[in-house]
Amino acid sequence: MSYRIHTLRLECSVFWVEARYTRINGRWIASIDTPGGPTLGYGPSAFTALWMALEPFEGLVDELLASAPTHVVGDY
């Protein structure tokens, strides 16, 4: 079985990060590279998975998610 891996670039005023996410068995999983290594997030939606994976960037999460396409984050 193969899964489609989506990639996107999330940007804020200070830096940008590359995010990868996919859906497996009805759940979403996201991976984001951080200075301390990759982080993972998971949840019922791509937004939730990305939000969890962005935890190391506390304080900039809102700005990073605001740069994501609407089809990924909805009306965030």
22 closest CA partner among 1, 55, 46 = 46
Long-range contacts of 41-47 (CB under 8 A, 24+ apart): 45/74, 46/6, 46/21, 46/72, 46/73, 47/72, 47/73, 47/74, 47/76
Q: Which CATH number fits domain 6-70: 3.40.190, 3.10.150, 3.30.310, 3.30.160?
A: 3.30.160
Q: Residue 52: what residue type?
A: M
pLDDT digits (tens, 9 = 90+) for 19-74: 999 999 999 999 999 888 999 999 999 999 999 999 999 999 999 999 998 888 77
pLDDT of residue 70: 87
14 closest CA partner among 37, 28, 43, 35 = 35
pLDDT of residue 75: 52
